[in-house]
Structure 1
Amino acid sequence: MEAAIFRGPGDVRIETTPDPEIEASTDAVVRITHTAICGSDLWFYRGERDLSEGSPIGHEPMGVVEAVGDDVRHVEPGDRVLAPFSISCGECEFCRKGLYTSCARDLSWGEDGGGAQGEKVRAPYADGTLVRVPDRYANDEDALEALLPLTDVMGTGHHAAVSAGVGAGDTAVVVGDGAVGLCGVLAAQRLGAERIVAMGHHEDRLDIAESFGATEVVSARGEDAIEEARELTAGGANHVLECVGAESSMETAAAVARPGGTIGYVGVPLGVESTGFLGTMFGKNVSLQGGVAPVRAYIDELMADVLQGTLDPSPIFTKTVGLDGVPEGYRAMDEREAVKVMVKLD
């Protein structure tokens, strides 16, 4: 089969690799029909995170089950499925409490099942990891494209909103205009926020934020952005979604949080070395909640809204490529020419 392989910073190639096979009775093999390139994939692409040369890549799979192990009960060949970015057994202490990203099995796409940016993938612990799409939507392309973000960014944006305590009538500030930040806006709107201030630096992305429910946008940088957001919220918001993970974005989130407020943080803290923002939070009694999003815990409720037509995060995909176009997709995201790239293999 063909799959995307990492060969070094700035070097992603499509290569021929062995087809995955059932290795354990709890496995499934899935033929990928849709997947995506994630902002976190850019870390190794830019050389900001170590990844072994020759590694298969991609962690947002959607496709059709081709084969299952003897102990798989919840899916069968022919089922349309999607899966979150984190593999989970569904049975350990942490999976039972909904903290799927802390699964005791500690498996991940790429290392343990093959990368999702390929023609096929092996899904370990298929019953705990794969989510079946109802048959009536199995070939509905619009529905499938709206469901694809549930594998990662929509669930992650939702985790930010839930962690920040967003509810009906609230004012929320979303820091970051990447795919996760845009989905955070959508999640805050879904949870009933009355005002949503989206903070970012790209006008085209802030346009998407407004279409997702942002009532105000802030495109300034640095202290000017903080001042504008605080003015818009009369001193800060009780609910702040940090969706980037950079030191500057954490500092911004701390600065725009209202005394007694809560920051829901989901941006992976790559390169955050200073803890100065903790002093700001401490002085204002601001709570910090969140972490890596247990997307599997949210997929069922978000899928229900997608399929009934009340939730559609698909506009985050501003570029679509085939498998051969994955290297170009990485380049486009790296150079900010695309918010998020969808890969279609059908």
Structure 2
Amino acid sequence: MRGSHVPATGTVTVTDWPDPRAREPGQLVVRMLHASICGSDLHAAFHGLLHPGGPRRPGYPGHEGVGVVVESRSRRCPEGTLVLTVPQGEMGGCFAELQLLDDLHVVELPAGTDPADSRQLRRLMMAQQYGTCLYAMRQFWPVERPARRAHTCVVMGTGSAGLFFVEEALRLGFRHVVASDLDARRLDVARRLGAVPVHVPRQELAEVVAEVSEGRGADLVVEAVGHDVLRDQAVELAAPRGIVGFFGLPERHGATEIPLWTAFRKNLRLQCSVSAQSEPGLTSFREALRRISEGEIDVDHCLGPEYPLERVAEAMRDAEERRGGHVKLTITP
């Protein structure tokens, strides 16, 4: 089969790999129909977060995909089942013609899904990232702490994850949802969804937050990019007894400084979110699929251009450089 190969940081190629086989109970081979590029894929390939096992993995680092089971040793997912693939993010293999998984890391697509309907499949594929955002938001803002009409939420970054956080904050009832980014085109999407857009550095995010919150600060700040400087700003923007949610990957392995004194004096809760793929029953991904399939959530802004697998390196460079202002790019084996 053909699949992506990342032999070293900064190098993405496509090469031949042995076809995977389902040999253990519960294992599946999925023929990938579509995969999408996540910001964490860019961190892994270009920004120094290459997993030690990544160079040996076909399809690495793709971890957002939909496909059909073509070989199965699972009673739950027989051959022919259409699935959302949710491999552990750091070891995904979606940028390949075939992917070996177990049935704990796939979710069946809704009944009636048409395998020939590319647009429908691509919309449902967004449940992978939307599911990670639902999982994160339930940690950042637990259900026992309902949003009040006076609450303010700030989302830093309006990539696909940031836009999903915008939509979820509005669903939860935050009065003000402020979204910041460097890209005016992505901010236009945030505006259409109902957020107050802030085009940094042309606008001062702190000033906008102070204005909409009447000087109190943000009750919830979600850092959805993965930059140290934004994590620092998130702590500064938070209101006393507020919550700061860290969703973006750290910039490096090892220690990272945070403004702990400020967080301590404000009595903040700093919450990270990772490993939605380990959630029992993959509840958040199932809920994400339901909401998308029933039209409760807007994902059409994520349906950017498609690239064949052989052009995965070009697609990842385009995503890295934000060419065209697209929110998401799709790889179609």
Question: TM-score of the superposition, structure 1-length normalised?
Answer: 0.83
Structure 2 residue corresponding to 1:224, chosen from 199, 204, 210: 204
Structure 1 residue corresponding to 2:72, chosen from 51, 61, 68: 68
CA distance in 1, matches of 2:82, 2:247: 29
CA distance in 1, matches of 2:40, 2:321: 14
Q: Contact (CA 8 Å) 1:240, 1:262: kept in 2 or not? A: yes
Structure 1 residue corresponding to 2:108, chosen from 123, 132, 144: 132
SS of the residue corresponding to residue 137 of structure 1 reads coil
Partner of 2:95: 117
Structure 2 residue corresponding to 1:159, chosen from 132, 135, 144: 135
1:309 positional shift:
1.0
Q: Contact (CA 8 Å) 2:127, 2:292: kept in 1 or not? A: no
SS of the residue corresponding to residue 226 of structure 2 reads coil
Partner of 1:277: 259
1:55 positional shift:
3.7
Note if 1:258 corresponds to 2:239: yes
What is the RMSD computed on CA atoms of the aligned residues? 2.3
Change (3 A) 1:246 1:186: same
Note if 1:177 corresponds to 2:158: yes
**1:300-311 alignment to 2 at 5 Å?**
300-311=286-297
CA distance in 2, matches of 1:66, 1:167: 45
- What per-residue deviation string (whole Å, max 9, x for no partner) do you get for residues 43-96 of structure 1? 232251234545421111210011111xx2211111100122428xxxxxxxxx
SS of the residue corresponding to residue 298 of structure 1 reads helix
Partner of 1:14: 14
SS of the residue corresponding to residue 226 of structure 1 reads helix
- Mean CA deviation greater in 18-27 or 155-164: 155-164
1:32 positional shift:
0.3
1:262 positional shift:
1.1
Partner of 2:45: 45
CA distance in 1, matches of 2:181, 2:125: 24
1:223 positional shift:
9.4
CA distance in 2, matches of 1:263, 1:277: 12
CA distance in 2, matches of 1:238, 1:118: 42
Change (3 A) 1:277 1:35: same
Q: Contact (CA 8 Å) 2:238, 2:244: kept in 1 or not? A: yes
1:297 positional shift:
3.0
SS of the residue corresponding to residue 206 of structure 1 reads helix
CA distance in 1, matches of 2:77, 2:63: 20
1:203 positional shift:
0.3
CA distance in 1, matches of 2:258, 2:20: 47
Change (3 A) 1:242 1:208: same
Change (3 A) 1:26 1:178: same
Note if 1:213 corresponds to 2:199: no
- What per-residue deviation string (whole Å, max 9, x for no partner) do you get for residues 234-283 of structure 1? 22111221212221111121111111111222112223855342221111
Q: Which runs of 5+ in 2 are unaligned?
A: none
Q: Contact (CA 8 Å) 2:14, 2:310: kept in 1 or not? A: yes
CA distance in 2, matches of 1:219, 1:273: 30
Change (3 A) 1:303 1:192: farther
> How high is the sequence identity, in percent, across the aligned residues?
30
Q: Contact (CA 8 Å) 2:136, 2:274: kept in 1 or not? A: no
